Every structure is written in C-alpha cells, then in structure tokens.
Amino acid sequence: MEGEAGERVDLTLLRRHLGAASLAVFLCAAGLPLAAPPPDAAAPGVPRVSDIRAWTNEIYTRVAIDTGDEVSWQANTLRADPPRSLPPRIFIDIRGAGIRDEILRKPVEVRNGLLRQVRAGRFDRDTVRVVIDLERESTYRVFALPGPFRIIVDIDGEGAIPVLPTSPEAVAPPGPVAAGPSPEDPAQPLITPPVSPRASPAGSAVPSAPPAIPPSVESPRAAASHPAPTRKHRVRVMIDPGHGGKDPGAIGPTGLKEKDVVLAIGRKIREKLSGSGEFDVRMTRDEDVFIPLEERTAMANKGRADIFVSLHINASRNRSAEGFSTYVLSRGASNREDLELAARENGVPIGKLQGVKFIIDDMFTGARKNESLRLAKTVNDAVVRHVSTRFPGAQSLGLKQAPFYVLVGARMTAVLVEASFISNAREESRLRDTSCLDGIADGVVEAVRYYGRNGIFAHSDY
C-alpha cells in the first residue's frame, strides 16, 4: 500500500513540476509493462541494476544506471532538508529490478561542488531507488537508452539556463497531495524543470522529418541561454572514432572494418590539427576498445570540448550506394535510409529509435543546433573536396539529420561524419588507401580550423 501511495504522489509531482518533455519520457517509461513478481537479483531474466557510472566536473554530470533489460522507472527530486543534513536529491525508482550487492554497499563518491554522491538501495520489495545527492539545486534531465537498457541522468550545474522557482509556495502542489511526502524523505519536492520547449507528444510511431537549416547564426533562445562569456582556452576538439573492441561497426566486402578505418582517420586529424598549437585535440579512444555511446558524449562534456566530431563509415544493403554525408542530431530523419543508419550506429532495432525524440531539444543540444548544422556542412564540403583531389568522382550526399545517440546531450557543437560506404567495393578499396584517409582528415581539419578562426564559438560556455 505504501508503495502505491508513493507512486501516486510521484506522478502528481512530475505532472506539476517537470517539463512537458520529461512528462512524455515518464509516460513512455510508465507505459512499459511492470514485472509483477518481486525481483530476485540472482534469477535469470530479471533486470538488475548492475552498474552505476558517473562522469562529472563542477558544472556537468552524467550518471548512467545500467539495468540490462528494459525496466519501468520514475524520476523525481527532493529539496535539501537541513535539519536532517540531507542535500538536494534526484532519485530514480526502478520497478521490478534487483541490484548488485556491491552497489548497495558502496556509493559512488564525487564531491566536486555539483555532485556529492550516488547511492542506491532497495526502497521496497519491488523497487530499487537510486539517489543522486547534489551539492546544490541543479537542472537535470532523465532519459533511457535501449540495447542494453540504461537510464541516463544529465545534470547541469551552471544555473544560467533554467529559471527555478525557489519558494515552497511556488512548488508545493495543492490539496492533499501537498502533504504527501516522498516515501523516502518527508521533504518538499525540489524543482528542477528540464528545459525543453518543443516536446513531442508521446506515442508517435513515425519520426518527424528534420527542419530546414535555420538562417540565423544563433537562435534567440540559444543566445538568451548562453550570454556569451569569453572562452579562455585553446579550442578544444574531441574526436570520436566510432565503434571499437567487440563492436567492429560496418564491414566491407573484403573484410575492412569500420572501427579500424575511423581510428586511423581520427589519429590523422589529431596529428594535423595539433601541429599549430591552436587546438587542444583529444580522442574518445586511441586504441581498439569498446566505449558505450553515452560515455563518448560524457567524455566530451566532461572535457569541456568546443567541438565534437564522431567519425563513421556508412554501409548499405544497396552495394552501389556511395558518397560522403555529415549529420547533426535530430529527432527523426527524412528518409528510411537515414533511420536505418542511425539504428545501426545506435546498436538498436529501428523500432527503438522513436524514444530518442523526447530528448533532442534538451538544455544542451538545442542551443548548439545551428552551429552544428553549419559545421556539418563545412566538414562535408571540405572532406569531399579534399578526397576528390586524390580520387576524382567522390560524391557528396550533403548535410543530413538523424537521431544518433552519441550526439544526445552533447553540450558543444557536434557532428557525425559518414565518410563514404564501406559496403561499396570501390569505396572500400579507396578506404584502404592512406591518401584517402588523409583527404578525409584534411577536410575535417580545414573545417574545424575555419570555425575556430572565425569566432563561431563565441558562445562557448567555458
């Protein structure tokens, strides 16, 4: 009974205090079937909180909660409770899941000015509760990624983007629910509304087509959200060679692997871009290792990169498909091929892609959209031009948009390059030629230099 009452309170609070997009995310999650029997962590087939991972600096934190199988979950917040020495908290209730014993025993300690710690416990017989203890009230967003299922919490400690109501009167829901505290702590809810002005209704099965490239350099919303502090460091570039380790990416007709090609290109970009001293270039991976998509984004955010370039090679069942394209994040794609590509790069069936649409216009990604579109076009044009000088006839498929998980939550200008088709025998052969890889790298370097030198990053936060 107590658990049921708690659930009702949580739902009401979410409706009142969280943004529309988060409500959609919540409803989406709540619509999942609940596991009826109490979870047994050791039982096969029962989802279980197997790991809690965190990437953090003093203004940004991403927490990933791994459950493996899909679970029903709810997120909510609590204000600080000084008499009980409790800080502001975000908590995630996960139904029908077990939890690994080591996680119960050992909180993830951070204490960096934004995040205090992440801890977890069994809230009741059927619910695992993960609690994020904050140092101060912060804006946050929670979403889930499938395959394997993980719940992601992005916390923004800058405080410049949201306008938070702070008085208890402004936040307490009316009526009897107001007296209904969270089951864990008898405190008022903490208000941290995620910023998402253009949420889509839940349940749309067909992803919408991406919008046209906006004409302005910076949207009014983005400009208002980022009051143009002056950057005090070299332009930081995070190069992200896709795939790696157990994930080879696409494989060509003669066995060339995408993971090896993009790592080689990434190293070339780093070498070429680092030479002048203008750029601080880092890579998400510099060896043949597997890194989850959400970790790549988190690495760029934690490292306060100004530019994020994810490197991939395309593939298609149509063996004659060819050409170069560069993508930015959007909630949908304009054609089936782009959706199939995003599904493959995300490592999920195409039917799973729709959930990502709730999180595109989030507090980080939305403000960077225009800059990302411009960088993507510049990158693609330059890559095609440089490759064409060595290999006449290189085709441009142009600037595109699709729901790539690796771009979700990126705080900086972020693009994803699909540098020709490894499934095309001629292009696969070209990708074995180091001069082609040099051409691709030269194109990315030229575009990044152009952007860095022309002050496109004037709105960079750091």
Size of the site for Zn ion (CB under 5 A): 4
Interface segment toward Zn ion; rule CB under 5 A; list 74-82, 134-142, 302-310, 340-348: 340-348
- Cα–Cα distance measured from residue 425 to residue 423, given in angstroms and rounded to the nearest whole number: 6
> Min. distance of Cβ 256 from Zn ion in angstroms?
13
**Least Å from the CB of residue 17 to Zn ion:** 38
Q: From the CB of 247, what's the least distance to Zn ion, in Å?
A: 9
- Give least dist CB 270 to Zn ion, A: 19
Tell the smallest beta-carbon distance from residue 399 to Zn ion (Å): 18
* Closer to Zn ion by Cβ: residue 135 or 345: 345
Torsion angle, alpha carbons of 19, 23, 25, 30, to 10: 160
Residue choice 242, 252, 366, 403 for contact with Zn ion (CB under 5 A): 242
Residue with Cβ nearer Zn ion (249 or 355):
249
Q: Which is nearer to Zn ion, 118 or 342 (CB)?
A: 342
Closer residue to Zn ion (CB): 130 or 422: 422
What are the residues facing 92 on neighbouring strands? Answer: 75, 130
Return the residue nearest Zn ion (CB atom).
312
As measured in angstroms, the least distance from the Cβ of 262 to Zn ion is: 7
**Binding flag, residue 240, Zn ion (CB under 5 A):** no
Interface with Zn ion (CB under 5 A), residue from 312, 357, 386, 459: 312
Q: How far is the CB of 295 from Zn ion (least distance, A)?
A: 16
Q: Measured from the CB of residue 344, what is the shortest distance to Zn ion in angstroms?
A: 7
Among 3-11, 178-186, 268-276, 343-351, which window interacts with Zn ion (CB under 5 A)?
343-351
Q: How far is CA 359 from CA 87, 223, 256, 356, in A?
A: 27, 20, 34, 6
User: What SS3 string covers the chain?
Assistant: CHHHHHHHHHHHHHHHHCCHHHHHHHHHHHCCCCCCCCCCCCCCCCCEECEEEEEEECCEEEEEEEEECCCEEEEEEECCEHHHCECCEEEEEEECCEECHHHHHCCEECCCCCEEEEEEEEEECCEEEEEEEECCCCEEEEEEECCCEEEEEEEECCCCCCCCCCCHHHHCCCHHHHHCCCCCCCCCCCCCCCCCCCCCCCCCCCCCCCCCCCCCCCCHHHHHHCCCCCCCCCEEEEEEECCECCECCCECCCCCEHHHHHHHHHHHHHHHHHCCCCEEEEECCCCCCCCCHHHHHHHHHHCCCCEEEEEEEECCCCCCCCCEEEEEECCCCCCHHHHHHHHHHHCCCHHHHHHHHHHCCCCCCHHHHHHHHHHHHHHHHHHHHHHHHHCCCCCEEEEEEECCHHHCCCCCEEEEEEEEECCCHHHHHHHCCHHHHHHHHHHHHHHHHHHHHCCCCCCCCC
Nearer to Zn ion (CB atom), residue 225 or residue 346: 346
Minimum gap (Å) between residue 330 Cβ and Zn ion? 17
- Closer to Zn ion by Cβ: residue 294 or 345: 345
Residue whose CB is less far from Zn ion, 306 or 337: 337
Backbone angles phi, psi at 140, to 5 degrees: -145, 165
Find the part of the chain contacting Zn ion (CB under 5 A) among 45-53, 200-208, 239-247, 366-374: 239-247
Please report, for residues 95, 100, 217, 387, the alpha-carbon distance to residue 46 in angstroms, rounded to integers and kept in the order given.
Answer: 11, 12, 49, 50
Nearer to Zn ion, 345 or 442 (CB): 345
- Closest CB 311 distance from Zn ion, rounded Å: 8
Q: Which stretch binds Zn ion (CB under 5 A): 173-181, 244-252, 332-340, 376-384?
A: 244-252
**312 or 368: whose CB is closer to Zn ion?**
312
* Closer of 312 and 374 to Zn ion (Cβ): 312
The single residue among 218, 295, 345, 371 that binds Zn ion, judged by CB under 5 A, is 345
Give the interface segment with Zn ion, choosing from 64-72, 203-211, 230-238, 345-353 (CB under 5 A). 345-353
Residues 247-266 that bind Zn ion (CB under 5 A): 249
Stretch that binds Zn ion, among 125-133, 279-287, 312-320, 390-398 (CB under 5 A): 312-320
Q: Does residue 78 contact residue 91 with C-beta atoms inside 8 Å?
A: yes
Where do contacts with Zn ion occur on this chain (CB under 5 A)? 242, 249, 312, 345
